[in-house]
Amino acid sequence: MTMTKGGAGGRRGPDGGAASAGEPGSAPAAPAAPAHEAPPRGAERRNHVPGAGTAHAAAVERAQREMLRDGSSAAAAAAGRVAGKRQRIGADVVCESLIRQGVHTFFSYPGGVILPLYDVLGDYPELRHILVRHEQGGAHAADGYARVTGQVGVCVGTSGPGATNLVTGIGTAQLDSVPMVAITGNVPGALLGKDAFQEIDINGITLPMTKHNYLVRDANDLPRVLAEAFHIARTGRPGPVHVDITKDALQQETSAPHPSHEEIVAGLPGFRPNLDGHYRQLKLAAQEIAQARRPVIMAGHGVLHAGAEQELVALAEKAQIPVAWTLLGIGAMDETHPLAYGYMGMHGWKHTNRAIQSADLLIAFGMRFDDRVTGNVKTYAPYARIIHVDIDPAEIGKNVAVEVPIVGDAKRVMKALLPMVPAVDTQERRDYLAQLAAWRAESEASSWHGSGAWRDGLLSADYVVTRIGELTNHEATYVADVGQNQMWLARYAGFRHPNTHVSSGGLGTMGFSLPAAMGAALGRPDRETWAIAGDGGFQMTSQELMTLVQDNIPVKVAIFDNKKLGMIRQWQEIVYAGNYHSAHLLGPDYLKLADAYGVPAIKATTPDEVDEAIRFAQSVDGPALIWFEITGEQNVFPMMPAGKGLSDLIETWGGPEE
């Protein structure tokens, strides 16, 4: 038996019948009552459309019909596509722009108002679209992709909840200055401001957490806006740019051309980042460096953004100055270089912080002296004058007062500075460097390294991280989550190359590692990619395991399961007198979970199982998961308690092994 849709004499299509009342230009006449609805006697039929009959009311009505997807333009576009020919619409401009900007892969999730984009995506096989499981995952993936490639990462979401789900990822990119373009759909222009279905003021939300944002209501503006968005995201200090596009703009036909680079720059008269340091300031800096006896170079994320690793080494070697780095500066220098002096700050190395506290000159490149780096500013580097090089003038003098401010790109400034600083031979710095070496030996010896087992017999986290670093030859991309796992990774994995360490530093976003690793793996498929996740953070975004499987993204996920919000537990132990409220956290059976997703998985509980587990994950062609059951009691030391200074590091608490 066959069934027919709608019998003879059945209802007409959605555009027929009563729906035509209230078309543009028609009088505000009340629609005729359908036959089956007998009007109450004597009643006058009313029309509830506000301002019925005006062009505005007609536009609203058209927009509402578009939202229900029975609009004529969607239907026409679909019909045109079926017929193999159609006009260029706003959604095409989005795709063209991505291709023009060199974006090969982007991360997205569909929804009502962004569907016009999905309707044309099939026409652009050069664009790889990764369907994530949650928009936050999409934003972090775009972020991870950007951090390892240096290119602008792109994520896309629908209006309302899709857009708000992107927000954490956009904020993460903002605080770590990661180039990103986040695109959202919004309700048709005529419905903006009417609290339409899934309408939220997403521009208002992203305004304070983006480098810039746009609302596009006319497809003719799209080529310019998207070109500006990419230009702004990657130029000067990088950062996220949000572009909100109304559904009708995505569907609107347009022949607007893409602007040239000159046109883009001319259209942004308020955006002229200064890249070259001022000559007079460079001279002052060179003088300071020449006079300094205990200088320390400090490398931040800006060094990596600028691609200034070689210049950094050249400068350090010429003037024989040790180099310390921030969390996001990890990888700016090969850690095995003789002048590489380690990771600074709250959980940094004691010797590194000690060098800063006794320095007479700090030469900071591309960092912002945030509170995790300085601790209490009053007691920070009390003997040091400061040269601060940053591409963002607002960073200079914001957190610490500096003697020599230099606004510019780290690479260009280092290049210009190099011939100006006098060459220093090792002999001249002998005493200083010998003291630093002694400090380093002392500090590394006091940090607990052992057979790999903690005092309770369970695995120690630093051992696992160390082995992951070693068995991957320090050649992988390592993506941290947030908490103790993040600090262990930063301290013990051993980094050799730029952009192999990815970490949410500024926002400290739990759940970052897995989705960001997804983007990192796609951005740098030539490298193995490891996500280092705490059990807490993993449970925040674990749904992306399915994305790994669907798109065969070969991320190796290492769960550091201490069955705790470890960093919370550590703070509660040290700062809140052991009041462990909510630090204990149940987790699932991760092997079963991985199995359910179809991800090969293995568990390691004792030191002798660690290598085998890592090798197993490496041997899998595709994603794999390791469940490391680690001790629940280990603390990350040293630690600078909040409000204290870099000289007040805590190194033990309780047990003698720590």
Ligand X SMILES: Cc1ncc(C[n+]2csc(CCOP(=O)(O)OP(=O)(O)O)c2C)c(N)n1
What is the set of active-site residues? Answer: 135, 197-198, 247, 567
Q: Shortest approach of ligand X to residue 604 CB, angstroms?
A: 16
| Distance between CA atoms of residues 316 and 6, nearest Å | 79
Q: How many CB atoms lie within 10 A of CB 273?
A: 14
Binds other proteins by CB under 8 A, chosen from 102, 122, 204, 643: 204
| Contact flag: residue 481 with ligand X (CB under 6 A) | yes
Alpha helices in 473-606 (DSSP H): 484-492, 513-523, 535-541, 545-550, 566-574, 590-597
| Contact flag: residue 508 with ligand X (CB under 6 A) | yes
| Contact flag: residue 567 with ligand X (CB under 6 A) | yes
Nearer to ligand X, 458 or 565 (CB): 565
| Contact flag: residue 484 with ligand X (CB under 6 A) | yes
| Contact flag: residue 510 with ligand X (CB under 6 A) | yes
Residue 243 contacts by C-beta under 8 Å, 6 or more apart in sequence? 181, 182, 183, 184, 213, 214, 216, 225, 226, 229
Interface positions with Mg ion (CB under 5 A)? 534-536, 562, 564, 566
Binding mask 485-504 for ligand X (x = CB under 6 A): x-------------------
CB burial class (10 A; 0-12, 13-18, 19+) of residue 657? Answer: exposed
| Contact flag: residue 394 with other proteins (CB under 8 A) | yes
Return the range that interacts with other proteins (CB under 8 A); candidates 105-113, 200-208, 308-316, 516-524.
200-208
Phi, psi of 205 (to 5 degrees): -75, -40
Q: Shortest approach of other proteins to residue 399 CB, angstroms?
A: 7
Q: What is the distance of C-alpha 68 from the center of its chain?
A: 34
Q: In Å, what is the CA distance from 212 to each residue of 53, 149, 208, 393, 527?
A: 38, 22, 9, 17, 32
Q: Residue 325 belongs to what H/E stretch?
A: strand 323-325
Return the range that interacts with other proteins (CB under 8 A); candidates 4-12, 307-315, 356-364, 566-574.
356-364
Nearer to Mg ion, 90 or 566 (CB): 566
| Contact flag: residue 399 with other proteins (CB under 8 A) | yes
Binds ligand X by CB under 6 A, chosen from 179, 523, 566, 645: 566
Of 277-336, binders to other proteins (CB under 8 A) are 288, 291-294
| Contact flag: residue 634 with ligand X (CB under 6 A) | no
Of 518-537, binders to ligand X (CB under 6 A) are 534-537
Nearer to ligand X, 241 or 559 (CB): 559
Residues in contact with ligand X, counted by CB under 6 A, come to a total of: 19
| Distance between CA atoms of residues 64 and 379, nearest Å | 61
DSSP per residue, 264-324: HHHT-TT-----SPPHHHHHHHHHHHHH-SSEEEEE-HHHHHHT-HHHHHHHHHHHT--EE
Residue 312: name the closest of 287, 290, 294, 330 by CA: 330
384 binds, among other proteins, Mg ion, ligand X, none (CB under 5 to 8 A by kind): other proteins
DSSP state of 451: S
Binds other proteins by CB under 8 A, chosen from 6, 25, 208, 419: 208
By beta carbon distance, the residue nearest Mg ion is: 534
Residue type present at position 617 = A
CB burial class (10 A; 0-12, 13-18, 19+) of residue 6? Answer: exposed
Q: Shortest approach of ligand X to residue 319 CB, angstroms?
A: 38
First to last CA, the chain: 77
DSSP state of 630: B
Q: Shortest approach of other proteins to residue 520 CB, angstroms?
A: 28
Binds ligand X by CB under 6 A, chosen from 330, 568, 640, 646: 568
Q: Where are the beta strands (DSSP E) in 159-274?
A: 180-186, 212-216, 240-246
| Contact flag: residue 340 with other proteins (CB under 8 A) | no
Residue type present at position 348 = G
| Contact flag: residue 622 with other proteins (CB under 8 A) | no
Q: Shortest approach of Mg ion to residue 536 CB, angstroms?
A: 5
In what order do the strands lie in the sheet containing 128-131? 128-131, 105-108, 153-157, 180-186, 240-246, 212-216
Nearer to ligand X, 63 or 482 (CB): 482
| Contact flag: residue 125 with other proteins (CB under 8 A) | no
Residue 560: name the closest of 628, 610, 613 by CA: 628
Nearer to other proteins, 384 or 520 (CB): 384
398 binds, among ligand X, Mg ion, other proteins, none (CB under 5 to 8 A by kind): other proteins
| Contact flag: residue 380 with other proteins (CB under 8 A) | yes
Residue type present at position 580 = Y
Q: Where are the beta strands (DSSP E) in 1-56?
A: none
Return the range that interacts with other proteins (CB under 8 A); candidates 15-23, 206-214, 252-260, 479-487.
206-214
| Contact flag: residue 202 with ligand X (CB under 6 A) | no
Q: Shortest approach of other proteins to residue 117 CB, angstroms?
A: 23
Nearer to Mg ion, 173 or 636 (CB): 636
Residues 543/597, Cβ–Cβ less than 8 Å = no
Nearer to other proteins, 33 or 394 (CB): 394
Q: Shortest approach of other proteins to residue 650 CB, angstroms?
A: 20
User: 324 pairs with which residues across the strands?
Assistant: 298
Binding site for ligand X (CB under 6 A): 481-485, 508-510, 534-537, 560, 562, 564-568
Binding site for other proteins (CB under 8 A): 203-204, 207-208, 211-212, 215, 232, 268-271, 288, 291-294, 357-360, 377-386, 392-394, 397-401, 403
